[in-house]
Amino acid sequence: MRFLAVPAALFALIACAGPEDLSAECATLNDYCASRAKTECTTQVVSQCQAKDISTCVADRTAACLKAVPQGTVYVPTAGPACLKAVAAAYVTATITADALDTISTQCEPIFSGPGAARSPCTVDYDCSTVDGLRCLIAFGETSGKCMAPNMIDEGAPCPGEADICSGAYFCEPKSKVCVALGGDGSQCSPEYQPCMKGFRCPGSIFVTTCQALAAAGNACTTADECASGLCDKATGQSQGVCADQIQLTALDSLCAIYQ
Dihedral angle computed from the Cα positions of residues 89, 94, 100 and 102, in that order, rounded to the nearest 10 degrees? 130
Query: What pLDDT is stored for residue 20 in this prediction?
Result: 52
| DSSP-assigned letter for residue 253 | B
SS3 state of residue 180: strand
Please, what is the average pLDDT of the chain? 89
For the chain, how far is it from start to end, CA to CA, in angstroms? Answer: 24
Strand partners, 188: 210
For residue range 79-136, what is the model confidence (pLDDT) as tens digits?
999 999 999 999 988 899 999 999 999 999 999 999 999 999 999 999 999 999 999 9
Mean pLDDT of 237-248: 94
Dihedral angle computed from the Cα positions of residues 20, 82, 63 and 71, in that order, rounded to the nearest 10 degrees? -110
With 0-12 / 13-18 / 19 or more C-beta atoms within 10 angstroms meaning exposed / middle / buried, residue 137 is buried
Q: How many Å apart are CA 240 and CA 237, to the nearest integer? A: 9
Residue 9 in this model has a pLDDT that exceeds 50: no
Q: How many Å apart are CA 2 and CA 38, to the nearest integer? A: 11
Residue 206 in this model has a pLDDT that exceeds 90: no
Mean pLDDT of 251-257: 92
Residue 237 in this model has a pLDDT that exceeds 70: yes
Higher pLDDT, 207 or 29: 29
Percent of the chain with pLDDT strictly greater than 70? 91
Angle of CA points 22, 25, 31, to nearest 5°? 155
Strand partners, 187: none
Strand partners, 113: 74
Phi-psi sector, 100: left (phi>0), alpha (psi -120 to 50), beta: alpha
Strand partners, 170: 181
